[in-house]
Chains A and B, each alone.
Chain A
């Protein structure tokens, strides 16, 4: 019999406020400029502080209009980056393309791997520019390659203007990790490696992170069943090996995006007839069933992903309760449908614990901006924290809601655990900076790997669990 476990208590946090977009309050009579403006405006002081302290010894002055830079002057400017790339999808191209030609194939990356040239500048098909309130300057020099320079990132750039009006970059700074509520790591001394230092204890609780389940898909059905049985504690008899986390210690299951199978992907609305093919929506019913069977034993949070029946633009809203006729019975207890991105506050009296998660679009889009070899997911995740921005490439290449007076994707505090779903493989690390320490987790796609991630809520140690069917 499935046992009923205690619910890991969460507290509502205002950090999620910006991610909630009540449908009746939405306004699309806006453009995207306000988001960029708010982003630059809100991150400006942190970037300036970081720049001033980093380049204090260099005796360089700050210029608040990049177009005022004089040839030969070494100065620093602060602005928003814009990267132009060969394979960036273009609506204009889509619309005006001659109907005779074959449509261009989808490229895995926006950037042309051959397009970067040695001197660090870019060929015509790709260029990096910095835009501030006065205008844009083009960034060049070998350093341009060294930094992760992505559209939408607010940063400070130190460099020299050349005859040609181009700005040769010497150094770049970001806002740096936001502040973090101090969390003493139980059992770990400062300076010690978390991975080595701590052992799990039988009292520890865990959260299980999964993504890309694509429930309803035939080929992985059995894996799903096994996972469900494991989480319910039904496999304990034969799986009770040493070291394997006991299911009873897992108190929350987070489904981070792409939960629903695409399998019955037939035209949902038949343009040739009026009838709505309700069968086309069956997979979501399976997700509901799947979750409903877990809910008596374990808390489940479901987050929308790219392929789920949620809205497409960020922030993705919680999957609608009308699609969960069974699970929604538990909505006041163990069931949660959450936005993407989402903050969990698991803080207790003993220790604060804040978790930030996305179903992965933010990092996957940045990945397309980077040439091979410089596109490590954990590195990207770390950068988003250092940039203080979850998804700088929105709205340029990642659709997002046209906010009018806010950029909710600015990261205002460093979480203790930060995960992104739907990645190729499980990866994890702990990043420590200026007294801030955060556990990063790239959650693999379950349908391809059969893997879920277990995170110890005390030590924040992350390990992978593979379901072999």
Chain B
């Protein structure tokens, strides 16, 4: 007989577990649980074996291939640099590149001899013989800082000056760290001249604007033409291999002068990506009940790792480090440890041995890494925090606050892991995608279409305290969490897209996650400026961010429901093309004085923008921004053309990543000029751009409406019903799609003719039918060919907004589908009525009512529901309460009369547990009503559409009876007859019907039973679904994933079915 003995060690808590019968279950669940994921692990083993073929398999082999001896005199070395940092070797500043060769060897390359510098204008009256005076003044002010002082001719980036070059000091520092001091001495005019040379000193006394303020590493990369993630060749005979005083774990350390290395633009063979090793990991901690794990107390019990090579389809290392024993897992190594300290140290060794170039994970930046470091500190493992590539550099945790207009403010931790790039998938996804929630479950459900089992951290401890088999279950779960980031990265192509972004903009890879948008534009401007001998002023940030300028124009929409085709004409890349067409740039900006001084002629030499700013024409000087933009856009065109030809899926992905990066870069240039808190704001450019944009939209409207008229022989007078930023919607008045499309195409060409190149109006699509609700709010079927519509397109409607509950989204989606696709307005109204009735009768699933909002800044002026709730949850259980940056899930519950909405928010699981009534009125009036009326108003008219919310269907209301608190304790319930609603008394008191309704009992019974039946089926479907998801029949479901719609439904159905059973049981009181 197989062993099925009861294992008393497993004591599990969790809500679900508490709810079930415990005795037998324990014995079943003592054994581990293989899941579909384990299947996958096995497949991975096979695949890694198969791929290698005859070559010896390196499956589960940690170290890198050995780098054989070679002769530096005859061998070029090429590598892809993945990280760059500033360092000091023997007191000299170097730029350290970390890189990987095509063969997968690692290299540390010290770029020597590059001095950091900046520019300062040579004051009028300064003579060549004063140079030595200046030098000594500099030496007096900042001792030992000046390496070299040159005088050269440069042109300022700001403003057109007739192309005249001016004299600049180029001030080289001995050490980049001294640059800020030198710079401020020039800027503030406190250079310390000896009194004997006070006259020269006077020239500098007022300070000046310095030029070219950029970090050392970027400066060096720019001057050496190295862009982020690009390939670099060290030519034979020019470099030396360091053999003494090695500092890193790289296979070779190499020195080279900055003059000798060759940087490659990302073309041809240099567009490849080296076989980078990517480590994806996840840790599990044994937390205590009700408290979030604390590294000072709670141990780390497992660390799962998956390592793959960029370009391979399968990871070649899959293992899990466990505290205590763990049953074997097919397809993965299990490394058991007796003490936590041993496990952490062994893991550190593992990282250094497998030597990843990129470390990824989910929330590693703010959870896994800090926890590892803090835990090691608690355990006094002083040797632990050394898993970077630099042997002697400790990994140190710092706090940082990242603030950006585009991404908002985020607090985060920063851990230096020198030489290894970190990519936290959570941060990546938060940056690039707008989602309802960012938990790993939600994200994998969204991108990978999979629900993930979510084991609550208190249960994790119980599994750990069980036996080798329960720990195995945990290990499989942990491995899955380690593998998911890897799969997400592949699916979203983060590494490839970010690599291309680094290459296009020239910034190091790590900047893309840690810095905002501006640095990318700055990098490009500096590169271009260097090429043309310009210097960029270091503008003082005065912090006045209030300055505003007029944005894009919106043609007032003619709201309504259009049952005829509406053609859409779009300006492609509107803002970049305006800047190109009108030569808008820092370098072309004019002021009146210059116009007069150079005697420039309006229109011939320069032009005035609709905003009143002056810029020189292209023939006078072509601006740098237009050149940068042209290059970006033509590079994009090329990438797109190559993409079409390319067949290799990997290269295709790279090219697609590039064209996307190019597009984003081109669009960010405009924003850069308008960023008033930025490095180089120039509102003359940004407000001119929008002014041109407004004019063009207006102009297009006029042209189209003037040409397409009955008078000109067209079937109807065309009408522009709406226009926004870069598009106009035209109603040509023709009923068929084909004609509308032909006319749209013709109109686009006709109007384009009248604009300066490269501005182009394109005909893209036809909406038919089209529901125009308001500015930036519309919906329609999207047609690009007359045979079949491509999709249903909605803008600004609640389906895509996140601060609404799922119910709103579902109702709106269904309503729009019924109206636009089925053309069934009647059906849509009936549907709305049913849903409203369901809502009021408490039949809507709780998961549909959950609203999520991000907890961002603490200092909200007005009280907000989610902030208040987070505060209340913190009081209840500080450990599980949402933290800053988290999305808070809540529902609105019935509160005191006159209570504020923010007081009525509540945690959905708390609501479920305590049967707290939902404020259905809130959902009706604050969530459903407005979006629905917006849709129905243009179709039905306001009066009729209001009835959707107030009709007879809203008269039946069901409210859940709360199980806690309030008056319920004192209330006496009297049962009512289910037939006639009279109170039941006497011998009928406990039954279902009164004596008058006995005849109807059968029908009433069937009605009650119908509800139970429905619930029974739901119950079965929900719980078996979870059994399938967890991949086991014999084990109880532990998952408490709040992002999975099943979770709330599952709990709700248990409650509902129990009360339905109670109702039904009343029929049994009577003896039939």
Contacts and interface: CB of A to CB of B under 8 A. Distances in A.
A29 B1050 CA distance: 10
Interface stretch (A9-17, A31-39, A353-361): A31-39
A225 B745 CA distance: 71
Nearest to A163: B46
A402 B1058 CA distance: 13
B31 A133 contact: yes
B1054 to A, nearest CB: 5
A285 B1045 CA distance: 40
Interface in B1028-1072: 1028-1029, 1031-1037, 1044-1046, 1049, 1054, 1057-1058, 1061, 1064-1065, 1067-1068, 1070, 1072
B1016 A44 contact: no
Contacts of A269: 1007, 1010-1011
B814 A24 contact: no
Interface in A335-366: none
Interface in B982-1024: 999-1007, 1009-1014, 1016-1024
A197 interface: no
Contact of A33 (B28, B1001, B1002, B1011): B28
A405 interface: yes
Contact of A271 (B19, B20, B834, B1033): B834
Given A24-B1065, A78-B2, A395 B1002 contact: no
B297 interface: no
B330 A165 contact: yes
Given A37-B25, A99-B817, A272-B833, A26 B1020 contact: no
A87 interface: no
A24 B1061 CA distance: 7
Given A95-B1049, A309-B1010, A399 B1019 contact: yes
Interface in A261-297: 268-269, 271-274, 276, 278, 280-281, 284-285, 288
Interface stretch (B244-252, B396-404, B486-494, B948-956): B948-956
Contacts of A36: 28, 1033-1034
B1037 A37 contact: no
A397 interface: yes
B1061 A131 contact: no
Interface string B940-963: 000000000000110110000000
B1023 A95 contact: no
A342 B599 CA distance: 107
B1019 A28 contact: yes
Interface string A131-165: 11111111000000000000010000000000111
Nearest to A276: B1007
B1003 A281 contact: yes
B1 interface: yes
Contacts of A285: 1002
Contacts of A313: 1013, 1016-1017, 1019-1020
Contact of A281 (B327, B1006, B1022, B1072): B1006
Given A24-B1068, A26-B1061, A274-B955, A32 B32 contact: no
In terms of DSSP, what is the predominant structure of the interface of chain B? helix
A287 B1033 CA distance: 40
A360 to B, nearest CB: 17
Contact of B46 (A29, A89, A164, A402): A164
Nearest to A48: B1
A29 B1054 contact: yes
Interface in A390-438: 395-402, 404-405
A32 B1027 contact: yes
Contacts, number: 242
Nearest to B30: A133
B1068 A89 contact: no
Nearest to A134: B31
A91 B1025 contact: yes
B676 interface: no
B48 interface: no
Contact of A320 (B1, B328, B1005, B1013): B1005
B24 interface: yes
B27 interface: yes
Interface string A79-96: 010101000011110011
B1002 A325 contact: yes
A136 B3 contact: no
Contacts of B1014: 312
A324 interface: yes
Interface string B11-54: 00000100111001101111111110011001101100000000
Contact of B34 (A64, A67, A163): A67
Given A34-B21, A91-B1046, A320-B1067, A40 B1006 contact: no
Interface string B848-887: 0000000000000000000000000000000000000000
B4 interface: yes
B953 A271 contact: yes
Contacts of B999: 325
B837 interface: yes
B1009 A309 contact: yes
A269 B25 CA distance: 39
A67 B327 contact: yes
A23 interface: yes
B926 interface: no
B924 interface: no
B28 A271 contact: no
Contact of B1016 (A38, A45, A311): A311
Interface in B612-671: none
Contact of A395 (B42, B834, B1023): B1023
A399 B1068 CA distance: 24
Contacts of A152: 1033
Contacts of A271: 834, 837-838, 841, 843, 953
Nearest to A101: B817
Contact of A38 (B24, B1006, B1028): B24
Given A37-B1034, A313-B1020, A133 B1058 contact: no
B813 interface: yes
Contacts of B1031: 136
Interface in B431-479: 445, 451, 469
Contacts of A37: 24-25, 27-28, 1034
Contacts of A33: 20, 25, 28-29, 1027, 1033-1037
Among B16, B814, B1029, B1065, find the residue whose CB has the most chain A CB atoms closer than 10 A.
B1065
Nearest to A394: B1020
B1016 A278 contact: no
B331 interface: yes
A90 B336 CA distance: 38
Nearest to A38: B24
A309 B945 CA distance: 39
B792 interface: yes
B378 interface: no
Contacts of B1061: 23, 26, 28
Contacts of B39: 138
Nearest to B951: A272
Contacts of B391: none
8 contacts: A67-B328, A96-B445, A96-B1045, A309-B1006, A309-B1009, A313-B1017, A320-B1072, A405-B24
The list of the 10 closest CB pairs from A to B, nearest first, reads: A64-B2, A399-B1020, A135-B34, A321-B1072, A281-B1003, A323-B1002, A312-B1013, A313-B1016, A91-B1021, A99-B813
Interface of A: 23-24, 26, 28-34, 36-38, 40-41, 44-45, 48, 64-65, 67, 78, 80, 82, 84, 89-92, 95-96, 99-100, 131-138, 152, 163-166, 268-269, 271-274, 276, 278, 280-281, 284-285, 288, 309-313, 320-325, 328, 331, 395-402, 404-405
Given A28-B1054, A99-B817, 13 more contacts: A29-B19, A32-B1033, A33-B1034, A34-B20, A34-B21, A45-B1, A80-B1034, A90-B1025, A134-B31, A268-B1010, A281-B1002, A288-B1002, A311-B1009
